Amino acid sequence: MRTIKLPDQLNIFLAIFLFVLNCSSLPIMDSRDWKDNSFPISFEKNTYTVTRFKTKSPSKKNIVLLDPVFLSKEMLYPSSFTTTFTPGDKSGLTPYLITHEVANTKDHATLIPSFLEEGFNVYLIQFPETANLKSTAGDLNRILDEIVKQDSSDSFIIGGLSLGGQTLAHYLQLDIHPKIKKIFFLGTGFDYNHTGSLLEKMKTLPSKGGEYKCNLRERENLCNQYITSIYLDKAHRNALSYPVKIPELEKDPITSFSKLSSSPLPILIVFGKLDGISPEESVLIPFFPHRKGNSKLISILEASTANYMDLDYDHFDLFYHKKSKSEIYSKMIDWMEED
């Protein structure tokens, strides 16, 4: 059989093309895939679900993410679901972004894929619906021990997403796991008691069994005043109309999170300029104007046009905008890779 020898330049081009294709072709996960890649960790009162996302090549770089609570897991990784969302039925996960037909988040959910493409294994810790954000912090070291057993990693980075960052802030007041080397918060507010807080205003509305209706289909609904993203299409706004059970939030963050501003580990805080759920006053004011802390170890990134980004990001944009990968996550990864 005759063999054809390709020019060296063409061989190089094909090698680069196949490498890029291999990096970018992440599989879309359905509900069964999520289940198959997850394992439970049970303690006295709570059972947590940990979902693994492994890189295609062996890697010792690891990121642990804490449940964003109000946001769906499908906003973090390309997913498609064909099940109908039943309010209150979380089945151990957080299916808030399931449409009545199909929610395909391939082009939008880029947070976890961004980390995988840079060689990080990712572990997503999902809280049970009844979990208390503060008491959950006391379980984290044991959860992290179980994760370490999965790959015997030397170290990892831990990140709090949205309300999950409150658990991480509580955790930093304790003896943290020795293998943690860096900490980040994405869209986390530390003080939700500030004037005009959405979560505080929701508590003044009528509730059913402690649940408040966040209905983005109704123009006058309170949530629509705070969720300004024009990037959420009609289908996703319909899917985001669900009952919200507000977890117990820290009432005295300056005292309770006192170690945050003086952490011996590097911390990155990312927030959106137009974030109505975790605005700047909930992120910065409780700590940094009042405490000197170790400012050299604290980095703050406002997602806004002032920082040469294409838009001023709101809460959902941080996790779901197409440009968040290039404008936000790339900067977060640069910070992670710094010595």
Q: Which residues of the chain have pLDDT under 70?
A: 1-27, 30-31, 74, 79-109, 208-220, 224-225, 227-245, 285-295
Strands (E), the chain: 38-42, 47-53, 61-66, 80-81, 103-104, 120-126, 156-161, 180-186, 211-214, 242-245, 267-272, 298-303
Reduce the DSSP state of residue 84 to 3 states and report it.
coil
Q: What pLDDT, on the 0 to 100 scale, is given for residue 212?
A: 67
Please say whether the beta carbons of 80 and 104 come within 8 A: yes
Q: What pLDDT, on the 0 to 100 scale, is given for residue 334?
A: 96
29 φ/ψ angles, rounded to the nearest 5 degrees: -100, 135
Closest C-alpha to 115, from 181, 34, 55: 55
Q: What pLDDT, on the 0 to 100 scale, is given for residue 2?
A: 41
Q: What pLDDT, on the 0 to 100 scale, is given for residue 76?
A: 83
Q: Which CATH number fits domain 29-337: 3.40.50.300, 3.40.50.1820, 3.40.50.2300, 2.40.270.10?
A: 3.40.50.1820
Q: What pLDDT, on the 0 to 100 scale, is given for residue 79?
A: 66
Helices (H), the chain: 8-24, 31-36, 111-117, 133-137, 140-151, 164-171, 198-202, 234-239, 253-256, 280-283, 315-320, 324, 330-337
Q: What pLDDT, on the 0 to 100 scale, is given for residue 204?
A: 75
What length does the chain have?
339
Reduce the DSSP state of residue 15 to 3 states and report it.
helix
Query: What is the C-alpha separation between 149 and 99, in angstroms, rounded?
Result: 36
242 φ/ψ angles, rounded to the nearest 5 degrees: -145, 160
